[in-house]
Structure 1
Amino acid sequence: VFLRTGLGTFKPASIAGPAGQGMLIAFVVDALDDEYARIAAAGATVVTAPETEPWGERFCQFADPNGLVWQLVQWV
């Protein structure tokens, strides 16, 4: 569960501040381009459009409202 940063009801308050520094959440999918188009069309913030790495990883990245980056990955 990821809660909005700064949420007043979050306990303990000592960890209710900035979230996700250095964190990346990855989801493996079978049809990256289809999922990218669907999610981008729904209004998600695109961080990285689909790219293919030399070793065969195809990925794209989005950011949630808290700034957490999440990635879709397809192994080619």
Structure 2
Amino acid sequence: MNIVSSAVSLTVGDPAASSRFLTSHLGFRQILTGEGFIALGRDDAAVDLLLMERDPERWRPDQGLTEVIVVFTVTGLAAEYERLRGEGATITIPLRREPWGELMVQLTDPNGVAIQLTEWISPITG
């Protein structure tokens, strides 16, 4: 089996708001739109995102939700962090370095979708 592409489907209350966030701040573009959904892609190796509108007749809050974090591995994260701050993106975890060699920042889109940007760097040695 060969996987030739991949996508993450996110069910949100306002697909257009998430689309604006991802196209404005993270360089995605709309590749397909329809009633209740927007498909986003990039020209690089990033996973495609499918934003599905939550159907209030099928979604019940008492069923609980699984937290989803969309993670993108990037380069030049420190500069990207400054750019995102300057654009007013909602940053929920500021830029930080983890001892195992991860530089990361986490954003949240208008629908509460967590998006983590990670750059792999040298681990901290003591």
Match of 2:13 among 5, 13, 24: 5
Q: Is the 8 A contact 2:101 2:120 kept in 1?
A: yes
Q: Percent identity?
A: 31
How many residue pairs align between the two structures? 73
Shift of 1:45: 0.4
Larger RCO of the pair (alpha carbons < 8 Å, separation 6+): 1
Correspondences of 1:1-76 after superposition (within 5 Å): 2=10, 4-5=12-13, 9=36, 10=53, 13-15=57-59, 21-76=66-121
Return the TM-score normalized by structure 2.
0.49
Return the TM-score normalized by structure 1.
0.76
- The structure that has the greater radius of gyration is 2
Cα distance change, pair 6–59 in 1 and its aligned pair in 2 (3 A): closer
Shift of 1:47: 0.2
Q: Which has the higher strand share?
A: 2
Q: Which amino acid aligns with 1:44?
A: A
Following the alignment from structure 2 to structure 1, what is the Cα–Cα distance between the partners of residues 98 and 80?
18
Alignment partner of 1:14: what SS?
coil
Q: Which runs of 4+ in 1 moved over 2 A?
A: 1-4, 9-13
Where do 5+ consecutive residues of structure 2 fail to align? 1-8, 16-35, 37-52, 122-126
Give the superposed CA RMSD: 2.6
